[in-house]
Amino acid sequence: MNEEIAWDDLHDAILLDIDSSWDSGEITIRLRTGLSEAREAKIKGVGGRLIEWPRRHPWGPSIYVNTVRGPTPTSDGASSRLEIEMQSGDTIILEAKEFQLIPAK
C-alpha cells in the first residue's frame, strides 16, 4: 500500500542518490523518509534540463534534507525548478518539464 507524501514531508529525509539519463532526460532522486518506519520515496524529473549539485558543506557534512522549494515554473515557462536545500548548506537545483514525488510501495 502506498503512503501519501507531500513535498513538506521531506524535511530530515536522507538523500540516498541522484541518477540521471542523458538520453531520456530523466532524473531520479531516492530518499529515505521518516514516515512509517523509514521508507524510501523518489523524486522523478521528466524532461530534465539542469542539475546543479554543489557539495561544499558550508554548514558541515550532512546527508539530511533541510527544505524543498518548488516545484515552481522557471522564468521562461518551459519547465519547473526544484531546489533541495541540504542540512550541509548546499542547495541542489534541478529543472525539468515535470516533477513527481513518488511514495514507497
Does residue 38 sit in helix, strand or coil? Answer: coil
Instruction: Convert the pLDDT of each residue in 72-93 to its tens digit.
Output: 999 999 999 999 999 999 999 9
Which residue shows C-alpha cell 531546489? 83
User: What is this structure's pTM?
Assistant: 0.92
Give percent of the chain with pLDDT exceeding 90: 84
Better pLDDT: 73 or 103? 73
Give the angle 20-23-73 at the CA atoms, nearest 5°: 65
- The answer to whether 49 and 64 are in contact (CB under 8 A) is no
Query: How does residue 36 score in pLDDT terms, banded at 50, 70 and 90?
Result: low
Residue 24 CB-density burial (10 A; 0-12 exposed, 13-18 middle, 19+ buried): exposed
Tell me the pLDDT of the chain averaged across its residues: 93
